[in-house]
Structure 1
Amino acid sequence: MKQIKGKTALITGGASGIGKIMVRLLLERGAKVIIWDINNSKIHETILEFANKGDLVGHVVDVSDINQIKETAKKVIQETGTVDILINNAGIVAGKFFHEHTTKDIVKTMEINANAPMFITREFLEGMLDQNSGHICNIASSGGLISNPKMSVYAASKWSLIGWSDSLRLEMKQLKKSIHVTTIMPYYINTGMFDGVQSKIPILDPEAASLTIIKAIENNKRMVTIPGYIYRLTRIGQGFMSLNMFDWFAGTVLGIYKTMEHFTGHKK
């Protein structure tokens, strides 16, 4: 998606965190932006805050509800037409040991982080295929590259998202369609979602991370880790080290396996 100006972009989870920042960055680049978010008051706050920046509308959607996805997607297509840029950004985390998860924790995490991007993309992909253009950006996580205690269900959802997202990219390539797919795998971002995390690797600045994502869309990047060296550290380490050695490297040298020990998450 070399040219964002004049395009229609939809961002899930667009009323807070990096979603909200990406809304602003897209508006500044001349896109019409549609927010999907579960929080109605935050949607209104975001629309008021960015009222002078461009064309922005919002819809209250619980992306764990397939019926809401279908109904709202139909409304968007009727009112706006084809979505040119889709950013599947909404996500949740329950930072617990696996045996502490409730059934609801597991189901909800998979519904929002893994299933929703597929269901939402399915609703808008037909329009992209018809016009033979579009860009789908899926916000996964570096947690989809490496196992981590107290992130088992979250990691499962993000591993799933990465596998589907890059498979979709290959399908568009095989079909010779000008529809680009970008898979983003950021480290922890300082948005409140991972409050309490302690890390030897620097926690990401939301503004810088958001700009990296938008630039990845502009430049049709396929797979992007933030920071870039995370991919090399994990993939090369997993490829050349024994499991015991990699556990030592990731757990002791990088300190990744202890990052969630003091996790609190968003304050209620």
Structure 2
Amino acid sequence: MTDLFGKTVLITGGAAGIGKIMARLLLERGANVVIWDIDAVKIDETITEFAKKGNIYGYQIDVSNIQKIEDTAKQVKADVAKVDVLINNAGIVVGKFFHEHSTKDITKTMTINAEAPMHVTKAFIGDMIEQNSGHICNIASSGGLISNPKMSVYAASKWSVIGWSDTLRIEMNQLQKNIKVTTVMPYYINTGMFDGVKSKIPILDPEAAALTIVRAIEKNQKMLTILGYIYRLTRLGQAIMPVSVFDWFAGKLLGIYKTMEHFKGHQK
């Protein structure tokens, strides 16, 4: 078990959605919480809202900027403490057919979703290795497990996170380091990021999803899907079904291939 009391926990994308909810849950567990977010206004609002719950700190940062990651990580260590638990939560989605993506769409999605978690982790994992303790939680997506129209680049970025994250877990185990890694692969969460999505499979409640993730960290869970039997059925189907049969199963029976047809996302 990972006791979060007194630990310094950093959450990227921590001023909105499940990141903000996790910040509150961690404060309630006695953790010192550091939130990174691109939106300075939301950071201030979150700190004001949660100030009475415990120690919370905020830093405005664009995690697509590697130099900014390195500089802000140093500032956190100077201002607060070394990070004990890192939650890589920041992410974006562009809901278009692949040929409709601009070069900027592709680059930005891959940079924020796939590369940033690696660079953020690189900025803190050295301290974890030195003190031989730590926990890294990477929020991927069920989109990193199942191909889905209008999610090609998003899916690619999340497939990347899953492969990197679980490999990191195995590496820490091989090196006999007491650093736990949890890879989270949630279904759609009702935070606004996927507004317009229509699904036969229930869309996740953000409060429940955030709580499940925090508990997974506490339990040192290696992988988390928050989909239960549907996840197991899907993975079994991928293993034993011919591609055409799995397309029928996922596309027609579960309706997954149609979920993004009416996607709107966050409305500016």
TM-score (normalizing by structure 2):
0.99
Determine the structure 1 residue equivalent to 2:205.
205
Deviation at 1:81, TM superposition (A): 2.5
The Cα RMSD (Å) is 0.7
Q: Which sits farther off after the overlay, 228-237 or 211-220?
A: 228-237
Deviation at 1:93, TM superposition (A): 0.2
Determine the structure 2 residue equivalent to 1:7.
7
| Corresponding residue SS for 2:94 | coil
Determine the structure 2 residue equivalent to 1:84.
84
Deviation at 1:77, TM superposition (A): 1.4
| Corresponding residue SS for 1:52 | helix
Determine the structure 1 residue equivalent to 2:189.
189
Determine the structure 1 residue equivalent to 2:225.
225
Determine the structure 2 residue equivalent to 1:140.
140
Deviation at 1:80, TM superposition (A): 2.2
Q: Once the two structures are superposed, what CA deviation does each residue of 1:1-23 show, in whole Å capped at 9, x if it has no partner?
A: 52000000000000000000000
Whole-angstrom CA distance in 1 between matches of 2:183 and 2:24 = 21
Instruction: Give percent identity, aligned residues only.
Output: 72
Determine the structure 2 residue equivalent to 1:264.
264
Moved over 3 A (4+): none
Matches within 5 A, 1:141-160: 141-160=141-160
Q: Once the two structures are superposed, what CA deviation does each residue of 1:93-141 show, in whole Å capped at 9, x if it has no partner?
A: 0000000000000000000000000000000000000110000000000
Q: Once the two structures are superposed, what CA deviation does each residue of 1:69-97 show, in whole Å capped at 9, x if it has no partner?
A: 01100111122231000000000000000
Q: Residue 9 of structure 1 contacts residue 34 of structure 1 at CA under 8 Å; is this kept in 2?
A: yes
5+ residue gaps, structure 2 = none
| Corresponding residue SS for 2:220 | coil
Are 2:43 and 1:43 aligned? Answer: yes
Equivalent AA in structure 1 for residue 127 of structure 2: G
Deviation at 1:247, TM superposition (A): 0.1
Q: Residue 145 of structure 1 contacts residue 234 of structure 1 at CA under 8 Å; is this kept in 2?
A: no
Whole-angstrom CA distance in 2 between matches of 1:146 and 1:233 = 12
Whole-angstrom CA distance in 1 between matches of 2:200 and 2:239 = 23
Deviation at 1:213, TM superposition (A): 0.1
Deviation at 1:226, TM superposition (A): 1.2
Equivalent AA in structure 1 for residue 36 of structure 2: W
Whole-angstrom CA distance in 1 between matches of 2:76 and 2:48 = 20
5+ residue gaps, structure 1 = none
Q: Once the two structures are superposed, what CA deviation does each residue of 1:4-59 show, in whole Å capped at 9, x if it has no partner?
A: 00000000000000000000000000000000000000000000000110000100
